[in-house]
Structure 1
Amino acid sequence: MTSRDGAVEISGNLLGFDGEFYRVDTIYGELTVDGSGVLCEGPGCPDLTNFVAEVRFSGAPAVGRLLLPALMAAFGQKEGYDVTRVDGADGHRAIYRFEDRQTGALRGRFHFHLTNSDEGFADLLANEADIVMSLRELRPDEARLAEDAGIGDLTDRRRSRVLALDALVPLVTPDNPVRSITTTQLASVLAGEIDNWQDLGGPDAPIAVHLLAAETGLGQATEDRMLLGETRAFAAEARRHPSLTTLVHSVSRDPFALGIGSRTDKATLRELALTGECGFETTATRRAVKTEDYPLTAPVFLYSPARRFPRLVREFLAYTRSPAAQLVIRRAGYVDQLPEEIAIDAQGDRFANAVLRAGEDVSLEDLQQMVRVLTPLKRLTTTFRFEPGSARLDAQSRSNVTQLAQALERGLYDTRRLVFVGFSDGDGPAGPNRQIARKRAAAVREAVVAAAETANLSRLRIETQAFGEAMPMACDDSEWGRRANRRVEVWVR
């Protein structure tokens, strides 16, 4: 490559061109060079006049066969592209072509390799993919390998994004008399410690457990979310399935089966409500999944390296976070991330539980103060929770930081009052718990403000409040329950 005035020359291997910038591997390392300032010579130089944006997706078939194609079709409709699919011979590959609707010119090719989450990350590390589609979170060893390979920190919120939300649900046939199961019982069933429906209030019959295969993304997400602990494992007798389709089919044919499946694909099966020993009950409704009040949420992830993509790809990825895309995501059967406002009169059960389950350290005055503060406000479905045993936000909450920050940048809450409200579990004295909750609320507020780089924050009021253990969402007798209670909610007026 030579500068247009001939003063500078760069030699090396061309790694990529995004329509604007070259990536070149040189003796000085990898360089990014503005294409408008150089002339490219050599067999690898691209055709600048008929540039075609290319990107390679690899990973979870459920994402690559349904969700992303639906989003690409909607994006193409909006931006004036005809999007067509060309299937590969092996059934695991496809190419989506983006053609200008007016001229017919080819503008982009999105390549898909439909395997599983493990293979998606392997393809990324081998430079055979640009974006990973995953139904589970990045593993620590994968993050280390990515760093070593020069891909960058894939745990950074700019490198990972939650595309949509799903949930793991316990599934039974419609005629099964059992209607709910505690989280502790569910873990015991999966570990083989409870093996008869009679122990769950059902008939005297063995429980046939069905799980997704360990190599599938949702199968791995099941292992991550069930919190069996280091000393327990899934029962060896559990039947494993390569796909949700086969799991649902098998469970539907056995009245004594219990399967862990997906909210998005349960066919005619019925979901068991999750309860706690103290009586809390929740199902995977859209709002419960958005708020993570349902404990087994399963985000759908996209991971990408610290690399500049062609403009068409960047525009598509930006579109996936837009309000229009959230409606497409919902129509595809997933839970979108569009914030919803929940009025106080729709939260009667929560406030009733706050009174019924108040510990000895929570006074009537504390409850009255909470009601006085929150009554004029509405709760957003945007909620922040933390990784087990950590002050770090979990994956869904890190995505919520970005979503809320972008809403602030768009001026969605201009002239309004936004309150970050911290809650805690009931372990320990109420006073210190309230202080911890206040610190968490302040930390989340700071993270959102820092991410909202272009927002005019003078146009709204942002505050923090904390009520500690005053409004539990679950029982404190399990790690699931304590994690659900340690949260920061966002309320708006």
Structure 2
Amino acid sequence: MSSSQLCRWILAAFFLASPTVLAAQEVILSAKSGDLTVEGKLLEFDGEFYKVDTQFGPLTVDARTVSCAGAGCPTAQDTTATFSVVSDGPAAQALIEAFALYQGGDVEIATGAQGAQTMIVSSEAAGPLAEVQLITPATHTPYAALKDGTDTLVFSTLDSPDPSHTQVIGLDAVVIATSDVNPVDAITMDQLRGVLAGTITNWKELGAGDSTITLHVSTGDSGFQAHVAALGLAPAAGVMVQEHARMKDMADVVANDPFGIAVLPFSSLRTAHAMGLRGSCGMHNTAQVFTLQSGSYPMTYALSVARPAKRLPLFAREFLEFLRSEQAQAVVADLGYADMGIATRGLDSQGQRLANSMMIIGKEVPLADVREMTSIMSGAKRLSATFRFQAGSTRLDAQSRENAESLAAGLILGNYADKIVYLMGFSDGDGRARQNKSLSEKRADAVKAALIKAAPDGSLADVDFRILGYGEASPLVCEDTAADAQINRRVEVWVKDQAETPTQTPAE
């Protein structure tokens, strides 16, 4: 074997992750091209690479390029990917089942001691593919499973301690649910807390008829309960409630109770009605797929999957890629979450938002900016992909990074061909209007840079981006809290046909 031929067989050993350490037995690895062989004792195999102790020393060989013969060759059990999934909801199991179907396989669920469940994925063509242990976290700290270095994925709606290794796959929210026959369409946080504290007990105090409020609660879904606790929305001790074991059961009861009210996850809403959330300035937002996707509903949170800072088995890595696909996102939507797809809305459907915002924008906002903004929006479509930043920086948050990947892919595919893509930056109402306008434009420019970075070199060169900053000209919510201000600090994406757009100089 020549040295140049030998080099083609050698791969850096640090690529090996969680290898199967085998009893050292002789193997013969033959190149599928038929012109090369390597003989030696098999030291490790991780499902993708062989590490063999040869006369030349330890060599690492890509298993896809060779066939193995000899007593030391790994068995089907050795080549089956094994990893764990920690999940505080149903999403993980449903998505693994969808991925197995996508791979041409099927899933069998085996129940072991103390109810432990393992998903066994296999196919007729390839045999066993993976064994995935399902783990339900016993506490509000599901990410603890990532600390011991095991091959583990964590599906959770709680914030990940490591955003760089976290992928947002869907969106959920805390919503206030009633029956659709209830005439009260919106509620303030103070009113809701009054209901939960037992100081508001009659619907007439909320603008409806003289009827006693029935407060429904559930103890299910530990991740959701953590969000409820953080928002201070748990019922006070001693308040009369109707308890339910499962969120979805409670949603069905509330949907048929004209005097009922409950705090629910958006994903468990079913046929119950989501009340609008009204701020102190009079603006209100309702939880809908678009408002969750665009981040304009105040109590939105992400469904994400976190991975360890190590190389996972191939099946697990391909599964993570699958989660970005249309097939996976359809499963996410079927489970009741808002998916990560990009939806569109025209100006007409956001008329109430603009009418509300015109009443509360700062006096320093130039009228010319408002006219320019509404002129561009007229006849344009807003995309649900909206960009926000980590606190005090121009670094995109986790959801925005996923939005950048999705939008860049859509631009490459020509989904917005022959359109001008407006990146409109907005700020909160704190500070001087001129400074806010400048900052919002810089953040819009940062989004453009993120989109270009997310695409192959030069693939977005033909996209007509327009960078605009409007500062505090169009708030989405009243700024009653720091979280509300974060909602207003964003970059929106609007697209408009070239033919409908008046000639103007793009901002740089």
For the criterion TM > 0.5, the same-fold answer is yes
- Residues 490 and 22 from structure 1, CA distance in 2 versus in 1: closer, same or farther, beyond 3 angstroms? farther
Report the CA distance between 1:355 and its aligned residue: 3.4
SS of the aligned residue for 1:458 comes to coil
Report the CA distance between 1:221 and its aligned residue: 2.5
Number of the residue aligned with 2:436: 433
Alignment equivalent of 1:81, drawn from 105, 125, 128? 105
- Identity, % of aligned positions: 32
Within a 5 Å distance, the mapping from 1:400-415 to structure 2 comes to 400-410=403-413, 412-413=415-416
Are the equivalent residues in 2 in contact too, given 1:60–1:116 (CA < 8 A)?
A: no
- RMSD after superposition: 4.2
Number of the residue aligned with 1:51: 79
SS of the aligned residue for 2:90 comes to helix
SS of the aligned residue for 2:169 comes to strand
Within a 5 Å distance, the mapping from 1:112-131 to structure 2 comes to 112-115=134-137, 118=140, 120-127=142-149, 129-131=151-153
Structure 2: segments with no counterpart, 5+ residues: 20-44, 53-57, 497-508
Cα distance between partner residues in 2 of 1:417 and 1:117: 48
Alignment equivalent of 2:276, drawn from 273, 277, 298? 273
Number of the residue aligned with 1:317: 320
Are the equivalent residues in 2 in contact too, given 1:441–1:464 (CA < 8 A)?
A: yes
- Residues 92 and 390 from structure 1, CA distance in 2 versus in 1: closer, same or farther, beyond 3 angstroms? farther
Q: Which deviates the most, 13-22 or 264-273?
A: 13-22
Deviations 1:20-49 (A, max 9, x none): 24799xxxxxx9955459999xx9984489
Are the equivalent residues in 1 in contact too, given 2:140–2:226 (CA < 8 A)?
A: no
Number of the residue aligned with 2:27: none
State TM-score, norm by structure 2.
0.75
Structure 1 letter corresponding to 2:378? T
Cα distance between partner residues in 2 of 1:469 and 1:336: 29
Deviations 1:154-206 (A, max 9, x none): 221xx101111222211235565533202343355556775665543354746
Q: In terms of Rg, which structure is larger? A: 2
Report the CA distance between 1:342 and its aligned residue: 2.0
Are the equivalent residues in 2 in contact too, given 1:60–1:117 (CA < 8 A)?
A: no
- Residues 88 and 454 from structure 1, CA distance in 2 versus in 1: closer, same or farther, beyond 3 angstroms? farther
Report the CA distance between 1:276 and its aligned residue: 2.0
Report the CA distance between 1:312 and its aligned residue: 2.9
SS of the aligned residue for 2:268 comes to coil
Are the equivalent residues in 2 in contact too, given 1:166–1:289 (CA < 8 A)?
A: yes
Number of the residue aligned with 2:95: 68
Deviations 1:308-360 (A, max 9, x none): 23333322221210233323322332211111222333333233334343432
Cα distance between partner residues in 1 of 2:390 and 2:258: 36
Number of the residue aligned with 2:168: 162
Cα distance between partner residues in 1 of 2:308 and 2:459: 30
- Residues 408 and 34 from structure 1, CA distance in 2 versus in 1: closer, same or farther, beyond 3 angstroms? farther
Structure 1: segments with no counterpart, 5+ residues: 25-30, 144-153
Are the equivalent residues in 1 in contact too, given 2:76–2:127 (CA < 8 A)?
A: no
Number of the residue aligned with 1:27: none
Cα distance between partner residues in 2 of 1:241 and 1:391: 44
Report the CA distance between 1:111 and its aligned residue: 2.6
Cα distance between partner residues in 2 of 1:15 and 1:212: 38
Are the equivalent residues in 2 in contact too, given 1:409–1:454 (CA < 8 A)?
A: no
Within a 5 Å distance, the mapping from 1:316-335 to structure 2 comes to 316-335=319-338
Structure 2 letter corresponding to 1:272? M
Structure 1 letter corresponding to 2:350? Q
Structure 1 letter corresponding to 2:163? T
Are the equivalent residues in 2 in contact too, given 1:476–1:482 (CA < 8 A)?
A: yes
- Residues 15 and 309 from structure 1, CA distance in 2 versus in 1: closer, same or farther, beyond 3 angstroms? closer
Report the CA distance between 1:414 and its aligned residue: 5.2
Structure 1 letter corresponding to 2:290? R
Structure 2 letter corresponding to 1:68? L
